[in-house]
């Protein structure tokens, strides 16, 4: 059984191979935190919920709350995870040695105003994280300004 870190890494690599820009642990305006939020080349957002264990999936029922902030919703799971129990209205990414998209999700486009707001938040967060790598001591002041509205 693969751990969450491996599932996360391989899922991010798949996203990059698909031409998607990736951010991990993104706070959404509704207070939830997306494991991975990816921005596609067409401007659409993909939210990916990582589940490393069946017990984690069964105990966590907050994933429907991500729909309002993503054009596509996925679960990323270990190759041994029983994918048949995942809801049929989400995409599925399975990770073995690498990640594979085995079921695409149905599209559910988000509102234009929400997309614009989320795009700005995504860009600001990405820039802040990049700057934090360059100047770790200077990041505390910028964090307060990145809270979702």
Neighbouring-strand partners of residue 72: 46
Q: Specify whether the CB–CB gap between 21 and 39 falls below 8 A.
A: yes
According to DSSP H, which parts of 4-91 are helical? 4-17, 54-59
Q: Which CATH number fits domain 4-110: 3.90.1150.10, 3.30.365.10, 3.40.1350.10, 3.20.20.150?
A: 3.40.1350.10
Residue with tokens 């399975």: 94
Task: Give per-residue pLDDT as tens, 40-72.
Answer: 999 999 999 999 888 888 888 888 999 999 999
User: Which residues, other chains included, contact 122 with Cβ-Cβ below 8 Å and sequence gap of 6+?
Assistant: 21, 23, 26, 37, 39, 45
| pTM attached to this predicted model | 0.88
Residue 91 has pLDDT above 90, yes or no: yes
Q: Where are the domains of the chain?
A: 4-110
Task: Give per-residue pLDDT as tens, 24-34.
Answer: 999 999 999 99
């Amino acid at each position: 059984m693969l751990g969450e870190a491996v599932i996360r890494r391989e899922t991010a690599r798949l996203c990059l191979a698909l031409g998607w820009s990736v951010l991990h642990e993104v706070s959404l305006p509704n207070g939830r935190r997306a494991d991975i939020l990816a921005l596609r080349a067409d401007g659409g957002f993909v939210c990916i919920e990582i589940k490393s264990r069946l017990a984690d999936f069964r105990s966590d029922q907050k994933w429907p709350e991500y729909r309002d902030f993503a054009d596509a919703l996925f679960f990323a799971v270990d190759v041994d995870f029983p994918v048949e129990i995942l809801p049929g209205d989400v995409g599925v990414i399975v990770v073995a040695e690498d990640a594979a998209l085995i079921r695409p999700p149905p599209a559910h486009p988000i509102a234009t105003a929400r997309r614009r707001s989320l795009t700005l938040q995504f860009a600001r967060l990405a820039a802040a994280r990049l700057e934090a790598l360059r100047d770790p001591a200077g990041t505390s002041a910028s964090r307060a300004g990145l809270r979702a509205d």
